[in-house]
Amino acid sequence: MAVYVHIPFCTVKCGYCDFNAYAGMDAVKPAYREAVVREVESWRGLLRSRRVTSVAFGGGTPGEVPAGDIAAILDAIRTAAGEVDDDAEVGLEANPGTTRLPQLRGLRAAGVNRVSFGVQSFDAANLLFLDRIHSPEAAAACVAVARGAGFANVGLDLIYGLPGQSPDAWAQDLARAVSLEPDHVSCYALTVEEGTPLARRVGRGEITPLEPDAVADMYEDAEDRLGAAGYVHYELSNWAKPGCESGHNRVYWTGGDYLGLGAGAHGFVDGVRYENAAHPRAYVERLGRDGLTPSAVGEGTVVGPAVADSYRPTERVAMFDWLETSLRLVEGFDPAGFAARFGVDIAAVVSTPLRECAASGVLDWQPGRIALTRRGRQLHSAVAAHLLAHLDQPRGATARSASAIATSPR
C-alpha cells in the first residue's frame, strides 16, 4: 500500500490553482499535525496488515510546515504499519523561495528521501503571472540547496503554455532546468480551472489563453529536449533519469491501493474510493473528538472520522479508470493485466474503439502491449473519452466516474 498525506497550507495560493489549499492558516498547523497523527492511528487495523511501499506529502506546500511535523506523521505511519519497506520512497513537494537549508536537513533527517520543487518557470514575468513568490535566482539555487541537505533525488516542476509565452522562452526554461541536473522533471500545461482567479480573468477577457497548437508544440519540444538530455519519458507529464521515476505515483497509474490522509485527501482501498472532509478546520474538528471510530473499509464504503464520502465504482467505471490511468504510462500496459483485474478479455469490451484509435495513429496495439503513440500522448483525454463512450455498459450500472476524486499532480 502507498500512503498519501495532504498538507493544505500555502504562503500564497496561486491564481491558477484549484487544489484543496489555503493561505493564511499558520495557526491551524499544530492542531492539523495532531489530527493527521490521530487519523493514522484510526487506520491502524488496516495498516498493520499491509506493507507500506511509499509515502508522499502533497498539498498545498508541505515543505512549509515544520520538519518536526513531517517527522511526527512519518513516525505515526511507521508505528501503525505492519511493515514499511527499507527503501520506501518518501516524497515531499516544496517551494524554492520558502524552503531553506535547515528545513531541508530536518526533512532529510526525518526520512524524506525525495523532494520536488514547484519552480514552474525561470522567467521573472512568468513567475509574477503565476503568483509565485520565489525569484528566478531561488529557482535556480534549489537543486544545489537540496543536494547540500543530503537529497539524492531532486525533482523540478515546470508549467508551459502561459499566455504570450514564446517557444524560445519555453526552450530557455527547459535548458535552465536541464543545466541544474535534477533527477526528475515534470512539465504541466497551464489549465484554466473553473472557479479559480485565473478562470475569472479569462472570462473577463483580461487574459487570452495560448492557442492549443502552440501548447502542443511546447509539449513536443519538452519531449525532444529532455530526451536528448538523457531523461526517460515514462508518463505523460513526467521525465526522469533512469531509476529515478516516481514509484509512488506509479501506484495511482496502475490502479494500486493507496491510503489518503489529511484534509480533502482521496484514497483507494480494496476497490473502494473515498474522500476526506476538505476544509482544514473541519478536518481538525472531526479528528479532535474523543472516542474516535476506527477507519475501515466496509461493503462498498469507507467509514472513519475524517471520511466525507466513499463509494465502490461500478464495473464499467472501474474499467474506465484503469484504462485511463494505465494509458498515462508511456510504456502502456499489457492487456493480460486488464483480464486479470476484471476477468474479461479487453477485446470483449473495447475492441472497436481500440481498433479505431490504432487505425488513426494515436494508439499502438501489439501482442502484450497497448500504448499511446507520440501523437496519441497529445490526445490522451480524447482517447479516454472515446473508450468510455464505447465501453460496454453492464445492465443496471450507473456511470459515476472516480475521476472526481482522483489524485491530481501538483
Q: How many domains does the chain have?
A: 2
pLDDT score of 410? 29
Task: Note whether 121 and 29 are same-domain residues.
Answer: yes
Checking if the pLDDT of 394 tops 50, the result is no
Do 325 and 226 belong to one domain?
A: no
376-397: average pLDDT: 80
- 323/203 same-domain check: no
Shared-domain flag, residues 9 and 141 = yes
Over range 382-393, report the average pLDDT: 86
Q: Single out the residue in 220, 251, 282 at which a domain terminates.
A: 251
Residue 85 forms part of a structural domain: yes
Q: What integer pLDDT is reported at residue 98 of this predicted model? A: 87
239: its cell numbers: 521525465
pLDDT given at position 127? 94
The pLDDT value recorded for residue 392 is: 63
Domain boundary among 232, 251, 270: 251
The residues, any chain, with a CB within 8 Å of residue 182's CB and separated by 6 or more, are: 143, 154, 155, 156
- The predicted pLDDT at position 402 comes to 34
Across 308-329, average pLDDT: 96
Q: Is 97 in the same domain as 181?
A: yes
Residue 404 resides in a domain: no
pLDDT band at 198 (very low <50, low <70, confident <90, very high): very high
What pLDDT was estimated at residue 168? 97
Domain assignment present for 398: no
- pLDDT score of 397 more than 50: no
Q: Residue 400 pLDDT > 90, yes or no? A: no
Quick one: 84 and 177 in the same domain?
A: yes
Q: Give the dihedral sign, CA 373/379/381/384.
A: negative
Report yes or no on 409 lying in a domain.
no
Do the Cβ atoms of 367 and 286 come closer than 8 Å? no
Last residue of a domain, one of 221, 251, 281: 251
Provide mean pLDDT across the span 230-247.
97
Asked if residue 294 is part of any domain, the answer here is no
Same domain assignment for residues 172 and 27: yes
- What's 335's domain CATH number? 1.10.10.920
- Give the structural domain span for 360: 315-393
pLDDT category at 307 given cuts 50, 70, 90 is very high
Average pLDDT score over residue span 39-52: 96
Residue 134 lies in a domain: yes
- Please indicate, yes or no, if residue 403 is contained in any of the structural domains: no
Does the pLDDT of residue 178 top 80, yes or no? yes
Q: pLDDT confidence of 97, banded at 50, 70, 90?
A: confident
Q: What is the mean pLDDT of residues 209-229?
A: 97
What's the pLDDT at 31?
Answer: 97
Looking at the predicted structure, is the pLDDT value of residue 409 above 80? no
Residue 131 pLDDT level (bands cut at 50, 70, 90): very high
CATH of the domain at 105: 3.20.20.70
The candidate with the shortest Cα–Cα distance to 266, out of 3, 84, 1, 12, is 3
Same domain, 376 and 232: no
- For residue 298, is it within any domain? no
